[in-house]
């Protein structure tokens, strides 16, 4: 068959998930509580249909059959995370041997099935004992994370060649300290900035530990959720609004992780509003001297902004939206279930930005996907007929292919996600998988998109 879009040899095809969203077994085999286990216990009503993280898709018990299923879909790679609270239940100290056994077995199973493990160290799941002393507000937790990272490298580094420090590190800072969608539900811009900054230091400390061990042929990176920011117009006020939104939501992590420094304009804004984090000169030099080998790009939607319509309320807590308003562009294409705009060209714009402004660093698309509510409506002959998902993937891959054609150093595409998984406060409201999950029976059924993806990976194109 002739392929219109062919990808380069050795391109990574697969999917991404995380420990807290797929493992389940939340209180088994000595796992410590993380913030999600605790928050669900405290306020189950805040989770869609009261579904918590106890079972999710039960990967902890079913990983062998799931990895076989990945192989059947021709995955050559898969990203998941290690649960810090499973490996080191208190966040520091004693290592849980049952966890070591599980992760060793999971990694070996992937390799035996020809699937390259991309292993992430942190996916929003702070151990509760660490959150009790402030989480990433506290520099002691930064050091605890570095020790945990080192332990992971020592235990699994002989086989794992693709390491990731953090997935979407901005999200716990935003969700937990600004927008009230993650525990500890604090609304405080200054604390959010401190948490974001300390997370970067934790990332850099993990890089230091990784470099010390000099693991042969292994690489370490970070996964960032990036949204290209588009101004409403070329009016100077709209352009300024877009520039500030880009500083807050993209460059605040891109620049320190990839360039070794923070943008001056961002620092000036934080200083002017008296929300600069506490930092040391030594920490700034750590940021300068440790850069990642690659970056994973999670892309779902663009961000469109305009200048403020009204002056902000001087009594209200300071928020990023003090500087801009979201702009709802007329005629935009929407995923109505998630309330997100679908804009395929965004993936191309992000990759071109990495090429132009970040030394064309090695990258891969680490997440991209479409969540749909009520997918059972589309079941025919026992299979979810999710043509909308196939179309979504194709339309993004066309722009990804164009970016590669234009010299962008991108070498993989991971869909979110493999099997419908638990998604924080949304639980199982929107389904994202190539494989559908029956919550009552845990039965897995490949969707139409799964069969399509199988061909895509086999042919290395479409």
For residue 194, give the nearest of 150, 109, 115, 135 by alpha carbon: 135
CA atoms within 13 A on the CB side of 112: 9
* Residue 256 DSSP label: I
Q: Where are the alpha helices (DSSP H) in 247-320?
A: 252-254, 264-272, 281-289
* Residue 137 DSSP label: G
Look up the CATH architecture of domain 12-459: Alpha-Beta Barrel (3.20)
Q: b/e per residue, 155-177, with b = 16+ CB within 10 A?
A: bbbeebbbbbbbbbbbbbbbbbb
Q: What whole-number distance in Å separates Cα of residue 400 and Cα of residue 362? A: 14
Sequence-distant (6+) residues with CB within 8 A of 20 are 34, 36, 53, 56, 81, 83, 123, 124, 125, 422
The dihedral of CA 105, 222, 427, 32: what is its sign? positive
Say how many residues make up the chain: 462
CA atoms within 13 A on the CB side of 260: 10
> Residue 185, class by beta-carbon neighbours within 10 Å (0-12 exposed, 13-18 middle, 19+ buried)?
middle
Beta strand pairing status for 362-367 and 340-341?
A: unpaired
For residue 193, give the nearest of 266, 118, 130, 140 by alpha carbon: 266
Q: How far does Cα 338 stand from its chain's mean position?
A: 17
How far is CA 457 from each of CA 16, 66, 67, 402, rounded to the nearest angstrom? Answer: 15, 17, 16, 18
Give the start-to-end residue ranges of the domains of the chain: 12-459
Taking the whole predicted model, whether its pTM rises above 0.85 is answered as yes
3-state secondary structure (DSSP) of residue 295: strand
**What is the token pair recorded at 308?**
């403020």
**What is the token pair recorded at 451?**
């069969």
Please list the pLDDT of the chain residue by residue as tens digits (462 residues).
Answer: 688 999 999 999 999 999 999 999 999 999 999 999 999 999 999 999 999 999 999 999 999 999 999 999 999 999 999 999 999 999 999 999 999 999 999 999 999 999 999 999 999 999 999 999 999 999 999 999 999 999 999 999 999 999 999 999 999 999 999 999 999 999 999 999 999 999 999 999 999 999 999 988 999 999 999 999 999 999 999 999 999 999 999 999 999 999 999 999 999 999 999 999 999 999 999 999 999 999 999 999 999 999 999 999 999 999 999 999 999 999 999 998 878 999 999 999 999 999 999 999 999 999 999 999 999 999 999 999 999 999 999 999 999 999 999 999 999 999 999 999 999 999 999 999 999 999 999 999 999 999 999 999 999 999
Sequence-distant (6+) residues with CB within 8 A of 90 are 32, 127, 129
Beta strand pairing status for 325-326 and 303-306?
A: antiparallel
User: What are the catalytic residues?
Assistant: 168, 367
Q: How many CB atoms lie within 10 A of CB 111?
A: 15
Q: How many CB atoms lie within 10 A of CB 261?
A: 12
For residue 430, give the nearest of 358, 373, 382 by alpha carbon: 373
């Amino acid at each position: 068959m002739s392929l219109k879009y062919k990808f380069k040899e050795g391109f990574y095809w697969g999917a991404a998930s995380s420990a807290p969203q797929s493992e389940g077994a939340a209180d088994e085999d000595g796992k410590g509580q993380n913030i999600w286990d605790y928050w669900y216990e405290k306020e189950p009503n805040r989770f869609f249909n009261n579904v918590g993280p106890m079972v999710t898709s039960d990967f902890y018990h079913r990983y062998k059959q799931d990895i076989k299923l990945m192989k059947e879909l021709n995955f050559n790679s898969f990203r998941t995370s290690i649960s810090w609270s499973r490996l080191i239940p208190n966040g520091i100290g004693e290592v849980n041997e049952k966890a070591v056994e599980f992760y060793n077995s999971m990694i070996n199973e992937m390799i035996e099935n020809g699937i390259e493990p991309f292993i992430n160290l942190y996916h929003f799941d702070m151990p509760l004992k660490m959150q009790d002393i402030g989480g990433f507000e506290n520099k002691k937790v930064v050091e605890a994370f570095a020790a945990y990272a080192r332990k992971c490298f020592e235990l699994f580094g002989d086989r794992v060649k693709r390491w990731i420090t953090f997935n979407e590190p901005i999200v716990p800072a935003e969700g937990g300290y600004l927008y009230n969608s993650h525990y500890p539900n604090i609304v405080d811009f200054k604390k959010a900035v401190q948490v974001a900054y300390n997370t970067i230091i934790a990332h850099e400390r993990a890089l230091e530990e990784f470099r010390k061990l000099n693991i042969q042929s292994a690489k370490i990176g970070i996964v960032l959720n990036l949204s290209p920011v588009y101004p409403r117009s070329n009016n100077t006020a709209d352009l300024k609004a877009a520039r500030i939104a880009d500083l807050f939501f993209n460059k605040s992590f891109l620049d320190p992780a990839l360039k070794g420094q923070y943008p001056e304009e961002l620092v000036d804004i934080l200083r002017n509003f008296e929300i600069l984090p506490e930092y040391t000169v030594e920490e700034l030099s750590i940021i300068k001297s440790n850069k990642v080998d690659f970056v994973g790009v999670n892309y779902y939607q663009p961000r469109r902004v305009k200048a403020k319509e009204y002056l902000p309320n001087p009594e209200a807590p300071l928020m990023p939206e003090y500087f801009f308003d979201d702009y709802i562009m007329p005629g935009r294409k929407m995923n109505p279930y998630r309330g997100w705009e679908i804009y395929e060209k965004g993936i191309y714009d992000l990759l071109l930005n990495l090429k132009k402004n970040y030394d064309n660093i090695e990258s891969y698309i680490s997440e991209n996907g479409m969540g749909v509510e009520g997918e059972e409506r589309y079941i025919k002959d026992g299979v979810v007929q999710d043509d909308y998902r196939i179309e979504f993937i194709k339309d993004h891959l066309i722009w990804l292919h164009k970016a590669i054609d234009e010299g962008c150093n991108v070498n993989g595409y991971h869909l979110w996600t493999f099997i419908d998984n638990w998604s924080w406060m949304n639980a199982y409201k929107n389904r994202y998988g190539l494989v559908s999950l029956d919550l009552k029976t845990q039965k897995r059924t490949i969707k139409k998109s799964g069969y399509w993806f199988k061909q895509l990976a086999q042919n290395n194109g479409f």
